[in-house]
Every structure is written in structure tokens, then in C-alpha cells.
């Protein structure tokens, strides 16, 4: 998904931003930016030329076309990116904690658990991360169903 190798940039971000939350936020932003950008641009271009011509026929300006045609058409794409990024952000935060947290966080616990051969702790942290990622994904999917109820993918029809 991401063009940036997270294992490569996480230590650099920690060196630049320090051991506090800023380094984790920088890793998460770097990891989630491009999937969000690509999906949003694809969504903004999802409206057909016929629909854009119709908006021009009705004398709609750029902002009206953006707000009434292009953003609603981009909604499913944006929500798809949000669902993907909800789990990528969790992974990015955990990876950043491997490199940048001296005493707290899931990444730190997994790293020290492996070092102490506490495999039960490692698997517990992985299970918690999997449950949290699934919950984040599910919440965004529920919001998507409410916001894009009109789209065929939500109604069960063909797109």
C-alpha cells in the first residue's frame, strides 16, 4: 500500500522528532498519507464526463460541482482509504514504538516480550492490536453505511 518503507523511516522519524508522541504521529502520517491521497484523487475523478457536462449545463461553478457532484462521488473512495488507514495507522504507531519508546506502548511491550521470551505477552499484545484494528475498521464501516447509504456498494447493488 504505502510507497514508503515504514521500517526504514521509523528510526529516522524518531531521530528527528524525539521519543515522544510526535515521532509516532509523524510515522503514522507518513504511512497513511499516500493511500488517502490516491483514493481521494481517484474518487474526485469518479464522476463521469456526462455528469460534469450536466453540471455545466445547469451553470454550476467549480465549487458547486465539487460540493454537489465530485465530493459525494468520492465518498466511497475516501471511506475506503479511511478503512485501510485505520489499520495502517495502528501498525505504524506500533512500529514507531519499536524504535522510539523507551518505556511504554504496545511496540515496546512486544519488543521487550520477545527479548524476555515472554511469548504469552507478545501474543496478547498482538491480539489486542488485532481487536483494536478490527474495531476501528468496523466503526468507520458503520459511519460509511450511514453517510454513503445511496451508493450501490452499500445498498448491495452493482457499482
φ and ψ of 19, to 5 deg = -90, 0
Half-sphere exposure of 128 (CA within 13 A, CB side): 12
Predicted pLDDT of residue 1: 45
Q: Which cell goes with 138? A: 468496523
Domain-embedded: residue 149: yes
27 pLDDT exceeds 90? no
Structural domain containing residue 75 = 6-155
Domain-embedded: residue 1: no
DSSP state of 2: -
Q: Which tops the pLDDT comparison, 86 or 6?
A: 86
Average pLDDT over residues 62-80: 93
- Calpha distance 96→80 (Å, rounded): 24
Give which of 87, 110, 114 is closest to 6, Cα–Cα: 87
Q: Which cell goes with 100? A: 522510539
Domain-embedded: residue 68: yes
89 pLDDT exceeds 60? yes
Domain-embedded: residue 123: yes
- Under 8 Å CB-to-CB from 42, ≥6 apart: which residues? 77
Average pLDDT over residues 104-129: 86
Average pLDDT over residues 31-52: 92
Predicted pLDDT of residue 143: 94
Predicted pLDDT of residue 79: 95
- Calpha distance 47→145 (Å, rounded): 20
Count of structural domains, the chain: 1
* Mean pLDDT taken over the chain: 86
Per-residue confidence band for 109, with pLDDT thresholds at 50, 70 and 90: confident
Give which of 98, 71, 86 is closest to 6, Cα–Cα: 98
The 10 Å Cβ neighbour count of residue 64 is 12
Average pLDDT over residues 126-138: 94
| pTM beyond 0.75, yes or no | yes
Domain-embedded: residue 121: yes
Task: Please write the tens of the pLDDT for every residue from 134-143.
Answer: 999 999 999 9
CB 80 within 8 A of CB 153: no
Domain-embedded: residue 141: yes
- Under 8 Å CB-to-CB from 125, ≥6 apart: which residues? 106, 109, 110, 113
Amino acid at each position: 500500500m504505502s510507497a514508503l518503507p515504514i521500517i526504514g523511516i521509523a528510526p529516522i522519524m524518531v531521530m528527528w522528532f524525539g521519543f515522544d508522541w510526535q515521532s509516532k504521529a509523524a510515522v503514522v502520517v507518513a504511512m497513511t498519507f499516500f493511500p488517502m491521497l490516491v483514493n481521494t484523487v481517484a474518487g474526485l475523478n469518479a464522476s463521469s464526463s456526462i455528469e460534469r457536462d450536466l453540471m455545466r449545463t445547469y451553470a454550476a461553478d467549480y465549487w458547486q460541482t465539487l460540493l454537489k457532484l465530485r465530493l459525494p462521488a468520492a465518498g466511497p473512495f475516501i471511506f475506503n482509504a479511511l478503512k485501510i488507514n485505520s489499520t495502517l495507522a495502528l501498525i505504524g504507531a506500533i512500529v514507531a514504538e519499536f524504535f522510539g519508546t523507551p518505556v511504554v506502548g504496545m511496540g515496546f511491550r512486544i519488543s521487550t516480550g520477545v527479548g524476555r521470551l515472554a511469548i504469552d505477552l507478545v501474543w496478547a499484545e498482538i491480539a489486542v492490536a488485532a481487536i483494536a484494528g478490527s474495531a476501528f475498521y468496523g466503526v468507520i464501516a458503520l459511519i460509511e453505511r450511514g453517510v454513503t447509504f445511496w451508493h450501490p456498494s452499500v445498498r448491495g447493488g452493482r457499482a
